[in-house]
């Protein structure tokens, strides 16, 4: 066990965990930030996506020891009032079925749009393809990302 100081959603936390503990389990089990979901544990589904500085990363495969002083943003910290353009678009398009994967989808989409605010449909598909949705909400995810893009512009 070791002490790690991390920055999550603009707050500082200190946690005492093994160095190989994935960020996902620190967020969930130690910090009570349960919006970030576990589903595969091997970076294959994207349900655990968070931002490390501005990049979307799979928190299930990111050991706490490698986080350093990077700024972590989770779904809880994406916006103060739940009104990030991507969150707004997700509501307007009524994207979710079971909803379990959607925090990861939203975080992936938000990072993509930060990097490229006006993606083409092909770029949206490329950017979102690694996030699984078992309910099959892919059409609406695509629509919502494009809608969010139009809100950001």
Partner 1 sequence: MNKALKSNRRDFLKIAATAGGGLLIGFNWSACDSPKMKVVSNEEIFDKAINYNSFLSISPTNHVVIYSPNPELGQNIKTSFPMIVAEELDVDWSNVRVKQAFLDTEKYDRQVTGGSGAMPHSWQRLRQAGATARQMLMEAAAKRLDVPLSSLTTEKGNVVHGSKKISYGELATDAASLPVPENVALKDIKDFKIIGTAVKNVDNDAMFTGQPLYGFDVYRENMLHAMIQRPPFGMKLKKVDAEAAKEVKGVKDVLTFKNNVAVIGEGTWPLMKARKLLKIAYEPIEGTLESTAFHDKKFDELLNSGAGDVKRKDGDVNNAFRNAARVIKSEYQCPFLSHSPMEPMNFFANVKEDSVELIGPSQTPDRARKAAAEICGIDPEKVSVALTRLGGGFGRRLRADFVEEAVELSKMLKAPVKLTWSREDDITGGAYRPAVKYRFEAALNDKDEVIGYKLSGAGINAGNTTRENNFPAGAIDNLEIRSAEYKSPITTNAWRAPITNFLAFAEQSFLDEVAEAIGKDPIELRLGLLDKAKKNPVGEIHYDIDRMKGVIKAVAEKSNWGKKDGVSQGFSVYFSHRSYVAQVAEAKIKDGQAVLDKIYAVTDCGIVINPTGADQQVRGGMLDGMGHAMFANLTFTDGVADQKNFDSYRLIRMKEIPEIETHFIDNGIDPTGLGEPALPPTGGAVANAIYKMSGKRMRNQPFINQEGINNFNLGSPA
Strands 2-8 and 71-73: parallel
Report the interhelical angle of 102-115 vs 138-152 (nearest 10°). Answer: 40
Beta carbon of residue 69, minimum distance to partner 1 (angstroms, whole number): 22
Beta carbon of residue 117, minimum distance to partner 1 (angstroms, whole number): 20
For partner 1, the binding residues (CB under 8 A) are 1, 17-18, 20-22, 25, 28-30, 32-42, 44-45, 47, 74-76, 78, 82, 87, 90-91, 94, 96-103, 106, 125-126, 128-142
Tokens read off for 135: 């309910």
Task: Give dist(CA 8, CA 6) in Å, integer.
Answer: 6
Q: Within a 10 A sphere around the Cβ of 9, how many other Cβ atoms?
A: 18
Q: Within a 10 A sphere around the Cβ of 136, how many other Cβ atoms?
A: 9
Query: Which one, 42 or 69, has the nearer CB to partner 1?
Result: 42
Query: Which one, 78 or 111, has the nearer CB to partner 1?
Result: 78
Beta carbon of residue 106, minimum distance to partner 1 (angstroms, whole number): 6
Beta carbon of residue 150, minimum distance to partner 1 (angstroms, whole number): 18
Question: Among 143, 130, 46, 35, which Cα is nearest to 91's?
Answer: 143
Tokens read off for 66: 């490698």
Query: Which one, 44 or 66, has the nearer CB to partner 1?
Result: 44
Query: Which one, 6 or 17, has the nearer CB to partner 1?
Result: 17
């Amino acid at each position: 066990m070791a002490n790690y100081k991390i920055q999550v959603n603009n707050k500082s936390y200190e946690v005492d965990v093994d160095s190989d503990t994935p960020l996902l389990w620190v967020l969930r089990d130690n910090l009570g930030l349960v919006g970030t979901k576990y589903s595969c544990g091997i970076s294959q589904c994207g349900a655990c996506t968070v931002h490390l500085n501005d990049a979307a990363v799979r928190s299930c495969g990111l050991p706490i020891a490698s986080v350093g002083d990077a700024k972590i943003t989770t779904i809880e910290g994406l916006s103060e009032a739940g009104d990030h353009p991507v969150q707004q678009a997700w509501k307007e398009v009524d994207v979710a079925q079971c909803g379990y994967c959607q925090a990861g989808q939203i975080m992936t989409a938000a990072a993509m749009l930060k990097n490229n605010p006006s993606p083409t449909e092909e770029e949206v598909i490329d950017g979102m393809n690694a996030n699984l949705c078992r309910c099959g909400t892919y059409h609406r995810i695509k629509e919502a990302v494009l809608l969010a893009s139009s809100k950001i512009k």
